[in-house]
Amino acid sequence: MKTSVENVADLCESSEDNCKKFIDRIIKTNREVFMMSSLLDKQMCGYDLIKEIFSRCDVFLSQGAVYPVLYTLEGEGLLHAEYSKGDMRSKKYSLTLSGRKVAEKDVEDFAKALEQVSLLLKR
């Protein structure tokens, strides 16, 4: 039987994991913003995006969650797709003019929203 003190210690140790769990959830549900923010810097294919977000955020977005977003954003005219020269294997996406505007605004608003949420928690 563990003493209650040890249980509390366990809880504290897992706080980093717990935090990671919330970050994971936030990034996954808001992946559209994270994907567009990555595309602000350079054009990328689905594979590049998954790798980039993994190395930047330590969150693995699954393929089934990423490609549909790329296709619907392209359908909405926010992304432009083209096969990279000499490599028909990967379709590179870049932001269109209107896509860039939406991306910049979404990134800004999303950051604001997160600040407001953390204020809401400090009652």
Partner 1 sequence: MLKNTINGLDKILFDEIPKGSVILVTGAEGTLKSGLVFSMMTNYIAANDEHGLYVTLEQNVESHLRNMNSLGIKEEGGLHIFDYRDMRLEWMDSDLDLIKTTEEVIDSYKEKYDNLTLFALDSLNALYSISENGNMRNKIYNFFSHLRDEDLTSFLIMESAQSRISGQFSQFHQIEHFLADGTIELGMIEGKGGVKRYIQILKMRATKHAMEKHQLTVNDNGINILGPIY
Binding positions for partner 1, rule: CB under 8 A: 45-47, 62-65, 67-69, 71-72, 75, 89-91
86 vs 123, which CB is nearer to partner 1? 86
Neighbouring C-beta atoms of residue 109, cutoff 10 Å: 11
Sign of torsion over alpha carbons 106, 43, 20, 29 = positive
When the beta carbons of 32 and 95 are compared against partner 1, the nearer one is 32
Q: Cβ of residue 74: shortest distance to partner 1, in angstroms?
A: 11
In the complex with partner 1, the residue whose CB is nearer, 44 or 95, is 44
Signed CA dihedral, 92, 46, 31, 41: sign only: negative
Q: Least distance (Å) from partner 1 to the CB of residue 67? A: 5
Q: Which tokens sit at 12?
A: 């504290």
The least CB distance from residue 17 to partner 1, in Å, is 24
Q: How far apart are CB 12 and partner 1 at their closest, in Å?
A: 34
Comparing CB distances to partner 1, the nearer of 75 and 86 is 75
Distance in angstroms between the alpha carbons of the first and the last residue of the chain: 36
- Say what angle helices 15-29 and 31-39 make with each other, to 10 degrees: 80
**Angle 46-57/15-29 helices, nearest 10 degrees?**
150
